[in-house]
Amino acid sequence: MSFDLDATLRWLKPTRKTRPLRRRSDEKLDWVGTVPLVGAPVLLDTTVYVDVLQGRSPESLDAFVSVRTCNHSSVCLSELMHAFGRLKPDDPRTGKALKTIGETVRDIPAHRLVAPDAVTWAEAGVLGGLLFRLGCHAAGVERKCLNDALIYLQGRRNGWPVVTANIGDFDFLNQLVPDGRVLFYRRVKN
């Protein structure tokens, strides 16, 4: 699969997009609790793993992911695995956290783990840059914008809605590339 820079620039039109993005109202977004439990496969964002593990997932999300076929992105796998290098070994909480993350990662079925291809990576570079510039992000989160763009485009390429609590960034991504789908949920406060 080769990458066509000119086609990507014609498609995303980064030089024509100059106005800052504004988050749409909740009524204009799709929510996990408002779609049928049974339906097409989905792609999980890292927020799903974190919220489930921390007990912050709403009942509607728990029911949804127990019924739907859930696919897993290697981008999210990388974000989860980051903790193994990031957390301090001498912190008493680290062992339990890494054990839980490790169990979660080991439970991901190999046939449900997908990686972005070279074209998706390249397109996500442009889209992540747009998200950073037009989403008015603070310095230091450009990598987060790239990862979110990778997950969004990976879901789009496979025809899978992305399930996420990251309402701001994924709403912006959906505005920039409207033919992808996102299903949002809100975390339960502990």
Helix (H, G, I), strand (E, B) or coil at 182: strand
Q: What pLDDT, on a 0 to 100 scale, did the predictor assign at position 1?
A: 59
Please state the pTM of the whole predicted model: 0.95
Reported as a single tens digit per residue, the pLDDT across 9-19 is 999 999 999 99
In this predicted structure, the answer to whether residue 141 has a pLDDT above a threshold of 90 is: no
The whole-number pLDDT of residue 115 equals 98
Burial grade of 42 (CB within 10 A; 0-12, 13-18, 19 or more):
buried
How far, CA to CA in Å, does 164 sit from each of 84, 168, 181?
Answer: 23, 10, 11
Could you report the per-residue pLDDT of 82-121, keeping only the tens digit for each? 999 999 999 999 999 999 999 999 999 999 999 999 999 9
